[in-house]
Amino acid sequence: MPAARRRAYHHVAAVILIAAAGAAVQDVETHRFDNGLTLHVAPGHPAPVAAIQAWVGVGSADESPQLAGAAHVVEHMLFKGSMRYGRGELVHAIERGGGEINAWTSLDQTVLHAVIGRDHVEAALDAIGDTLLEPTVDPGELARERQVILEEIRHGTDDPSRSVVQNLFATAFVAHPYRRPVIGTADTVASLRERELVEFFRRYYVADNLTLVVAGDVDPARVRRAVDKRFRAMPSGRPQRNVAAEPRQTATRAIATLRDLGEAYVSVGFHVPAARHPDLAALDVAALLLGQNESARLDQLRVRDNLVTSAHAHVHSLRDPGLFVLSATAKPGDARRAVGALVEQAAKLADEVTDTELEKACVAAETGFVRELETVQGRARSLGWYSTVAGDPQFGHVYLDRVRAMRRHDLSTAMRRYLRADNASVAAILPKRRASTTVFARDATVRVRKALATAPVQVAIADRRVVLPNGARLIVRRDPSVPVVAMRAVWQGGQRVEDAAHAGSSTLIARLITRGCVTAEGTIDAAKLADRVDRLGGSLGAVAGRNSFAVAAEWLSRSWKPGFALFAACIANPTFADLERERRGILDDQAAQQDSPSQLVFGLFTRTLYGAHPYSRDVLGTPAAINAMTPAELRAFHALHHPPSAMVLTVVGDVDVDEVVALATAQFTQPPTATGSKPQTIVAPKPPVFDGRSAAAREVYQYLDRAQGHLVIGFPGTTIDAPDRFALEVLISMLGGQSGRLFAELREKRALVYRISAHSIEGIDPGFVAIYLSCSPDKLDEANRAVREVLDRVRTAGVTPDELARAQSSLIGRHQIAMQRRSAIANAIAYHEAYGLGWQTWDAYDDAIRSVRQADVANAVATYLRDDRAITATVRPKVETPAAKKRGKILTPARPTTPPPRRTPARPRGNA
């Protein structure tokens, strides 16, 4: 068959396969049970079989260093018996149904998977459910299985291909747990205790952290009933991930080790984004072109150059950012040259990829996706992976659309973005006769740099501020250093302009405004809008705060124009569909806040502090106001407070400034409002004056039956434009954080509290300063006294030069880290302009912090930490002591209230 016809034949065959499989994949029923468990059922298969997979959201990346290997040990112990199934009986139960069962543990998840005859699905679900809900831990079984795992570790250590990849991850990642082996080390596995494993299981094997997938010749209704019956007793709860962030790599890294081998193993890795990122499709196609078939480019190093004995390319797509890996085996004398050749071939691909190559690779990527769907286990695996890693069981369609739409420019851009010398790590395992691992590592670093050497690119950053014909202020910052574009539209408003009857209107509008809009093509509902955003590789949302309302979007530079059209349509012509759904969501959130002691105590504090001022309420509003809102009222509120003519619009990233101005002018054509270019606002009452208020009036309590007590000691705060706000921020930094005075005194020295923090929340009207802590109820009084002692020492003795310097350095460093993203810059510019601070002051934060002196901090202490203005709010279990009754009054909150969010220095204060 001629080559052209062969390519066309393969392409048509792949499309036919995809069309058929796509129809099947869309037939997925998803059900979320009351306890939080998620079930995906994919019915339909020509064979009378089914696959059952349980995806638990815990892998080695969720372990602490001391518990390395725990997820894998727990996976092994699942097969050692449960309450109703003894040792080995789970396997026997599956095998009796003509099936098989096994499990794996990875960096991001643990998966129990089984294939079984269709008539035995319910029995299999019962057995698997018993295993996941009530496994037993027999000390003898644990001891024996520990030995099995230690043998597995030794087996892996003996495999050089596995070891070199582990060495690469340990070199590329310096902070993230991806650097550790999935199965742990011999030392950590040997030291794991039964109690630690039980606690690990109880923390992660909960309903909200489990996704069940059933695919094949099944009845969805029967599956749903069987799952509900067996898994309804599984406890709820979503464990919080506390994974260390990986710092940006700044130089090539290389490591080499010696073994008794006949050939060398080398791997080169480059950091790439997490699995959902739009660039992953291009990187997958690049890996196919480089090293996943016999015609791949890296294979020419074997066939043509006789330089390597094998060569491969692979993308490790993970929940957090992963690696693009080039690997090879080579004769001992060729190992150094092999490193440079691998990178050279990858770099050439970015410059030389042809349309024919790209078409072939895209068809191969599509075909691989489709063939995964031929078997029930493949289909279940695809659904489980996309659901748990990408966050959407149907994300495969988004991925395929990206592959189909790919052009040479897309692949080249992605390759150049990540194939950089300062983003590269090299690992090698060499035969022992090699003279020096140090020399090899140094030479590998030089070869990588040489292969990726390019002329430095001068990035031209340009800013422009214009007033659009409708009165809106547009600020564009051209920064082509990264092909990303961030957009923000900001209005003064939010909670501050809401009266009691409209409390929560801004938040409700924020949840509705990007769930449907009217464009020139017609009305787009929420599902279609979300699909378009995904296909453009972007994000679109809105947020309401105490002082503002904002719509936010981010796009790739290649898709920013259609993305801007959707962004503008949501602002100018939202449909406000799904009102009842979002109303229920807010009411549910309000109800949930009543179970959060930290939110209750901040609500108690802010109501006492602000009285009738809107800041006394929560941004979620009140149940009465949310229930009473009608579509007409929301539209009127939105038109009054968020007209396009009054917005500040910022666009930051890889754009042409003139194109942005022209497009914004075209999209926002209506003239200013009849009352001018600014929206009508409700004048908020001035916050109350606190001088002279009795101590009893400033000490309030609420009873809640919880194991811990929660305390806020707070004061009236400052505004977003106050000259002393930076001095106050430095003061709060000295008090809060793990190196602050409060943490050192109350936790490290006295062991009184579990959590303690300090906050300064500014606003257009004065905000507040607050110290929050949680501790055992019987320690509340002592903790209260200890906080006041710390504050007294600050008032009397001031702060030291070392404290000042440390706080300034910390604030500036966190600010610089926060300002890496274009979205952070767009935020800062928009809010500074909207709050009247001037958009050009957005990057003056570092200098403002550096200019703070000890005397400025002392003035801030005297102004804001006045003991006669302190309000103490306590939420604790009920006590009946006369002293408590005499000391304060009992308040019952009229509405839920949230604690202040962690502040981002990049944003002007007041949008909390």
Is the pLDDT reported for residue 23 higher than 60? no
pLDDT recorded at residue 688: 57
CA distance 262 to 135: 45
CA-based diameter of the chain, in Å? 96
In 3D space, the residue among 326, 324, 358 whose CA is nearest the CA of residue 339 turns out to be 326
Indicate whether 679 pLDDT > 60.
no
Question: Contacts by 149-154 with C-beta closer than 8 Å and gap 24+?
Answer: 149/69, 149/72, 149/73, 149/76, 149/183, 149/184, 149/189, 150/186, 150/189, 150/190, 152/183, 153/181, 153/183, 153/184, 153/185, 153/186, 153/189, 154/186
> Residue 132's pLDDT is what?
95
- Between strands 264-272 and 322-330, the pairing is antiparallel
User: Cα–Cα distance between 296 and 364 in angstroms, integer?
Assistant: 12
* Contact between residue 616 and residue 765 where contact means Cβ atoms under 8 Å apart: no
What does the pLDDT average to over 754-759? 89
> Given this model, what pLDDT does residue 911 score?
41
SS3 407: coil
Distance of CA 774 to the CA centre of its chain: 26
Structure tokens at 121: 């699905």
> Coil, helix or strand for 330?
strand
Residue 61: CB atoms within 10 Å: 23
Residue located via tokens 């124009």? 561
Give pLDDT tens digits for 522-546: 999 998 998 888 888 889 999 999 9
Q: What is the pLDDT of residues 162-217, one digit of tens each?
A: 999 999 999 999 999 999 999 999 999 999 999 999 999 999 999 999 999 999 99
Q: What pLDDT, in 10s, does the model give residues 836-886?
A: 999 888 889 999 999 999 999 999 999 999 999 999 999 999 875 555 455
Is residue 676 over pLDDT 60? Answer: no
Phi, psi (degrees; rounded to nearest 5) at 39: -120, 130
CA distance 756 to 736: 8
Separation between Cα atoms, residue 551 and residue 270, nearest integer Å: 34
DSSP string across 767-823: -EEEEEEEE-GGGHHHHHHHHHHHHHHHHHH---HHHHHHHHHHHHHHHHHHTTSHH
Instruction: Write phi, then psi, for 266 (nearest 5 degrees).
Output: -130, 145
Q: What is the mean pLDDT of residues 886-897?
A: 41
d(CA 138, CA 219): 37
CA distance 319 to 387: 11
CA 447, chain centre distance (Å): 35
For residue range 37-76, what is the model confidence (pLDDT) as tens digits? 999 999 987 778 899 999 999 999 999 999 999 999 999 9
pLDDT band for position 148 (50/70/90)?
A: confident
Determine the Cα–Cα distance for residues 367 and 373; give it in Å rounded to an integer.
10
Q: Which residues contact 614 (CB under 8 A, 6 or more apart)?
A: 495, 496, 497, 498, 499, 503, 684, 685
Question: What residues contact residue 236 under an 8 Å CB cut-off, 6+ apart?
Answer: 35, 36, 206, 207, 208
* Cα separation, 757 vs 750, whole angstroms: 16
- CA gap 467, 645 in Å, rounded: 10
pLDDT given at position 825 = 92
Question: How far is it, in rounded angstroms, from Cα 117 to Cα 103?
Answer: 19
* Weakest-pLDDT range from 103-112, 375-384, 772-781, 877-886: 877-886
pLDDT at 737: 76
State the pairing for strand pair 253-259/424-431: parallel
- Which string of DSSP letters, residue by residue, matches 685-697? PPPPP-TT--TGG
User: According to the model, what pLDDT value does residue 5 have?
Assistant: 30
**472 CB-contact burial (10 Å; exposed 0-12 / middle 13-18 / buried 19+):** buried
**Interatomic CA distance for residues 304 and 296, integer angstroms:** 12
CA 92/CA 81 separation, integer angstroms: 11
Give the orientation angle of helix 579-593 with respect to helix 505-512, to 10 degrees. 130
Which pLDDT score is estimated for 370? Answer: 74
* Model confidence pLDDT, tens digit, residues 77-89: 999 999 999 888 8
Read off the pTM.
Answer: 0.54
Q: From CA 295, how far away is CA 158, in angstroms rounded?
A: 31
- Quick one: tokens of 263? 């050939």
| Dist CA 192 CA 73 (whole Å) | 9
DSSP structure class, residue 756: E
Q: How far is CA 241 from CA 105, 875, 892, in A?
A: 17, 27, 33
Give DSSP secondary structure letters for 858-898.
HHHHHHH--GGG-EEEEEES----HHHHHH-EE---SS--P
Per mean pLDDT, which range of 9-23, 336-350, 685-699, 797-811 is the poorest?
Answer: 9-23
Identify the pLDDT of residue 891: 41
Helix (H, G, I), strand (E, B) or coil at 900: coil
